[in-house]
């Protein structure tokens, strides 16, 4: 709470505080970042993440390669954590997302990615970011099981 007679002064000075606190990181964070880079920890983390992602994507490709492309077409799985699944027109993407959510699998519709909603291709987006190697296969099997149920 600021008294009315101090509001103008407060607003004037908050601009200075915002500028210095937002644009100028602390010396501690700068020193930590410098140490992080110089000690090659950054490079080590990149290699660990890269290896993990390659393993996830390998499992992803091997599981989805067995799927019927007339029912679901998988786009992605070659790099990055996200992939798109274009569903057969008989399948409701909303219903699939709701069914997966009940099984603690979270997917999202790609509808919001389209400026013109009439171009939407009945697809969902999934991420492997929070999954380990054992979970990827199980999750993909559940997704395909739910897709087949809705077909």
Q: What is the pLDDT of residues 24-35, one digit of tens each?
A: 667 777 888 888
For position 94, what pLDDT does the model report?
93
- DSSP β-bridge partners for residue 91: none
Domains and CATH numbers, the chain: 41-150 (3.90.1150.10)
Q: How far is CA 69 from CA 65, 87, 147, in A?
A: 9, 9, 12
For position 27, what pLDDT does the model report?
73
Any idea what the Cα angle at residue 118 is, between residues 113 and 119, rounded to 5°? 55
Q: Please tell me whether the overall predicted TM-score, pTM, comes out greater than 0.75 for this model.
A: no
What is the three-class DSSP state of 148? helix
Q: How far is CA 104 from CA 59, 75, 97, 143, in A?
A: 20, 23, 10, 11
Alpha carbon distance, N-terminus to C-terminus of the chain: 59
pLDDT over threshold 90, residue 58:
yes
pLDDT over threshold 60, residue 22:
no
Q: Indicate the pLDDT class of residue 1, thresholds 50, 70 and 90.
A: low
For position 141, what pLDDT does the model report?
96
What gap in Å lies between CA 57 and CA 136, rounded to an integer? 9
Q: Return the top range by mean pLDDT from 52-56, 107-111, 112-116, 128-132.
A: 52-56
Provide the token pair at 1.
């709470």
For position 24, what pLDDT does the model report?
60
H or E, element range at 109: strand 108-109
- Beta-sheet pairing, 108-109 with 82-87: unpaired
What gap in Å lies between CA 101 and CA 97, rounded to an integer? 6
Q: What percent of the chain has pLDDT over 90?
A: 48
Q: Indicate the pLDDT class of residue 78, thresholds 50, 70 and 90.
A: confident
């Amino acid at each position: 709470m600021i008294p009315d007679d101090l509001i103008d002064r407060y607003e004037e000075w908050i601009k200075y505080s915002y500028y210095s606190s937002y644009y100028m990181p602390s010396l501690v964070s700068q020193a930590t970042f410098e140490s992080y880079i110089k000690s090659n920890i950054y490079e080590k983390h990149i290699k660990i993440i890269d290896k993990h992602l390659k393993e996830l994507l390998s499992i992803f490709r091997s599981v989805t390669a067995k799927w019927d492309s007339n029912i679901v077409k998988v786009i992605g799985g070659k790099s990055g954590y996200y992939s798109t699944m274009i569903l057969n027109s008989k399948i409701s993407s909303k219903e699939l997302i709701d069914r997966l959510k009940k099984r603690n699998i979270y997917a999202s519709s790609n509808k919001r990615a389209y400026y013109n909603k009439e171009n939407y291709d009945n697809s969902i987006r999934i991420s492997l970011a929070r999954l380990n190697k054992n979970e990827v296969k199980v999750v993909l099997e559940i997704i395909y099981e739910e897709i087949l149920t809705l077909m």
